[in-house]
Amino acid sequence: MSIQKQTKNIFIADDHKIFADGLKSMISEFEGYKVVGCESNSMYIVSKLKKKQIFFC
């Protein structure tokens, strides 16, 4: 029996581009996680989150 790993979609919300880019780069090193977006505008973030299944941590 094999256990199938599910990829977790992550959306980064931060108003500091350098920090967000660094976090995105770090997350890409881990298997099973995928950055599906990165944004600093809160209204845009809310609209994106309504359309996608996002993992919150």
Q: What is the SS3 assignment for 42?
A: helix
Report the pLDDT value the prediction gives residue 39, as an integer from 0 to 100.
Answer: 84
In this prediction, residue 33 carries a pLDDT of: 92
DSSP reduced 3-state for 20? helix
Name the pTM for this structure.
0.68
The structural domain count of the chain equals: 1
Q: Which domain holds residue 46?
A: 8-51
pLDDT in tens, 21-56: 999 999 999 999 999 888 888 787 777 777 765 655
47 part of a folded domain: yes
Residue 56 lies in a domain: no
Give domain status of residue 57, yes or no.
no
Contact status, residue 14 vs residue 44, Cβ threshold 8 Å: no
Query: Rounded to the nearest 5°, which phi and psi values hold at 22?
Result: -65, -45
Cα 16 to Cα 51: distance, rounded to the nearest angstrom: 24
Average pLDDT for residues 13-28, to the nearest whole number?
A: 92
